[in-house]
Amino acid sequence: MNFKLYTVTLMMTFGQQVAAQTALPEILSIPKDIDPLKELIESQADELLYKLPMDRIVDPEQLLNQIHTNLQLGNSDDSDLDMRVVASLDCGGYTVYNLIFQSLPGVYVPANLYVPKGQGPFPAILNSHGHWAPGRRSEIVQRTSQILASNGYVCLSIDAMGAGERGRRHEHEYHGANLGSLLLDMGTPLMGIQLQENKRAIDLLCSLDYVNKEQIGATGASGGGNQTMWLTAMDARVKAAVPVVSVGTFRSYIMNSNCVCELHPNGLQHFEEGQLLQAMAPKAVKIITALKDGNAAFNVHQMLKSYRLGKLAYQQQDSADRLAYELFDESHSYTIEMNKAMLSWFNKSFNYRQSLPIELNAVHMLDTSRLSVLQYGIKSEKIMTIPAFVNREFKLAENKLIITNGRSTETYLQELRLLLSKVESDRLLSVRTLLPEAGWRRIILETAQRQLIPLLVKEPAGGGQMMHVLFPDQGKQGLNLTEIDQMVARGEGIAIVDLFGLGERASASAEHIDGALPRFHTISRSMLWMGQTMMGIWANEITLVSDYLQQHYGNHKMIVHADRETALAALISSDLSPQQRILQLRRLPASYLPDMTGSLENFNMAVHIPGILKWGDIPLLLALSREDINVDELMPWSGKSCPEKDKKQLLNKVNAYKRKFNIGGTLQIN
């Protein structure tokens, strides 16, 4: 039987269904104005929130250790900063130095250092950028840095990884979505990388003779304010901070619009944002919030929840006045009036220049090219992009992953389970059968975690021995019904499933929030905050469905059809819960390793698994399966056709792993 022919014609891309076909029957039939998936995810978040100790002060050491674990932070980096100044700009009362420095081994960060003229030592501020283009050279960052320097502060602004001159083409781009999530796959998420690099930026400031090392502060707006908050909690050298339009609650990040640079995996299992503020006590922290902010996560009411929770620790330490907030009748920005409030706070906190007027008029926007490092002789290859960094880190670790360690197959599988989920696996609770429709059995599988899995079934007929189980990547209404009718005519059984977030189980709210970003940007981030992954949820549901069908059709040959992201989930299910299935996988990603160039939107956000590349990547997933697998249209991240030499190389690697672990099952790559 040519299973490849079935899959190639069966799985169609979204929107290409033949117009003349009749839609498959609905099962859940939930009114469109109700979003049960949104309600389910938010209720799970609320349950986690209720378990947190919101009525007492957390142990700051325990909390900071938990952050270190969640973000997979390495040990403190004591390597050479290797700071290189490539240009200087005389701006009257201060000088701007364009420079690079080494944040991680071999990783160089473009930066601008604003230094007041006159006799130091000066207090110093790290000014982190948000998502305004082009990163550290944006108007908001320039103005804030110039105002600080004009008022006697050294100010350092750096490009976050993936942004500004660190984009894939060394031009600014949005460093979130799949681009930033590549770092999550490597183990340390973008938030963790930013935290490590910002600590190195503090190292740089402390290395300067003209900086007062006891007067180090941090500020930034939006994503930069988020960076400011985490750095202030994690670095004892930062004595004062002003996070701007960025403080809310972690609960409000669930099913809301935020960047992956603001994603803290497993975070909501352990603490809320107000408890992070507690860990900062007694540092001088002023929160600036915009009343007209359009992001619900940074809404004034969310900020007040965290502020009041954080205030408990400050009151306990008799330093209640060192945590404050100020409201502005503004939208999501960092305005000059906010700059004035920020500067007043630092002056007061450091007892610095309090008798002098604040200078706000010496602001002159510089052309972004004048603040560049690439325009002044730094070669682009010196500035490592996210894809280059991930490929390098994997190459350094690969030998340790498989070749030189003695871990058993079961150890790898147990590690994989922990990567996929930090919560107990879902289980089947009950089976509900609805009235048949158009010749289809309509079944609902209810799980312990309140999931309702809709299952359409056509029984095998006329002695047919095949049971095809379809997990379409766009939901069942994206299938080619003509091919399904042909399979039915041959007497073969069919089961069709809408996985979590797909088809009947899609969330209109999440898709609206995603907008132009890759699908599942909202749901995937929300689940990661709560210790779960889309791949873990899907793989578990594929196992539950397969178990149910095995009980009823155990004498039939079961063929699992899956495409793109669902193909990856089916492979994971095969590893963790092997049965007697044949896996027919179409457009399976060849690797979690990104191409250096090209699109990163070929796969959606459901694919990401924290630390999967440290664990071993897709070749190891293929090797650990004991079932027979056929792969059609193997795809790299870019979505381009996979060359034959790459297919052969993958097959050889998988077979080598299978021999090493003595694992059966065949792999055919077509």
Position 362 scores a pLDDT of 87
Residue 16 lies in a domain: no
Q: Encode pLDDT of 298-307 as tens digits.
A: 999 999 999 9
How many angstroms separate the CA atoms of 17 and 2, rounded?
Answer: 23
Same domain, 364 and 412: no
Whole-structure pTM value? 0.94
pLDDT at residue 142, rounded to an integer? 98
Q: Assess if residue 359 is contained within a domain.
A: yes
Task: Give residue 41's identity as a one-letter amino acid code.
Answer: I
Contact 151, 374 (CB under 8 A): no
* 610 is a domain residue: yes
Provide the domain limits for residue 188.
60-240+258-271+348-377
The strand pairing partners of 327, in sequence order, are 289
Q: What is the pLDDT of residue 398?
A: 81
In this predicted structure, the answer to whether residue 15 has a pLDDT above a threshold of 80 is: no
For residues 218-240, give the mean pLDDT: 98
Confidence at residue 22, expressed as pLDDT on a 0 to 100 scale? 63
For residues 425 and 359, membership in a common domain is answered with no
Same domain flag for 456 and 512: yes
The structure tokens listed for 457 are 């079934």
- Tens of pLDDT, residue by residue over 508-532, are 999 999 999 999 999 999 999 999 9
Q: How many domains does the chain have?
A: 2
For residue 241, pLDDT over 90 is answered with yes
Query: Is residue 11 very low, low, confident or very high in pLDDT (cuts 50, 70, 90)?
Result: very low
Interval 390-396 mean pLDDT: 93
Write out the two tokens for 105: 């081994």
How far is it, in rounded angstroms, from Cα 17 to Cα 424? 37
Residue 77 lies in a domain: yes
Q: What is the mean pLDDT of the chain?
A: 93
255 pLDDT higher than 90: yes
Same-domain pairing of 362 and 424: no
Secondary structure of residue 379 in the 3-state scheme = coil
- Residue 142, domain member (yes or no): yes
- Does 124 have pLDDT greater than 60? yes
Per-residue pLDDT at 336: 97
Residue 637's nearest CA partner among 657, 618, 615 is 618
Please give the single-letter amino acid code of residue 470.
Answer: L
271 vs 1, which has greater pLDDT? 271
If you average pLDDT over residues 312-327, what whole number do you get? 97
Asked if residue 304 belongs to a domain, the reply is no
Look at residue 315 and tell me if it is in a domain. no
Same domain, yes or no: 367 and 504: no
E-strand spans in 549-607? Answer: 557-563, 581-586
Average pLDDT over residues 483-506: 93
Q: What is the pLDDT of residue 402?
A: 61
Q: What HEC string does 604-655 produce?
A: CHHHCCCCHHHHCHHHHHHHHCCCEEEEECCECCCCCCCCHHHHHHHHHHHH
- Asked if residue 354 and residue 460 are part of one domain, the reply reads no
User: Beta strand 284-290 with 323-328: parallel, antiparallel or unpaired?
Assistant: parallel
Residue 640 CB neighbour total at 10 angstroms: 12
Pairing label, strands 628-632, 667-669: parallel
Does residue 355 sit in the same domain as residue 473? no
Do residue 485 and residue 367 come from a single domain? no
Mean of pLDDT values over 543-572: 95
Q: Following CA atoms 648, 649, 652, 653 in sequence, which dihedral angle do they give, to the nearest 10 degrees? A: -150
CATH number of the domain enclosing 191: 3.40.50.1820
Please tell me whether residues 371 and 443 are part of one structural domain: no
* Candidate from 85-99, 217-231, 450-464 with smallest mean pLDDT: 450-464
Residue among 502, 481, 510 nearest 565 (CA): 502
Q: Which residue has the higher pLDDT, 149 or 361?
A: 149
371 and 459 co-located in one domain:
no
Residue 631, both tokens: 């792969």
Q: Which residue has the higher pLDDT, 497 or 487?
A: 497
The answer to whether residue 451 is domain-embedded is: yes
Question: In terms of domains, do 370 and 481 share one?
Answer: no
pLDDT band of 3, cuts 50, 70, 90: very low
Q: Indicate if 433 and 551 belong to the same structural domain.
A: yes
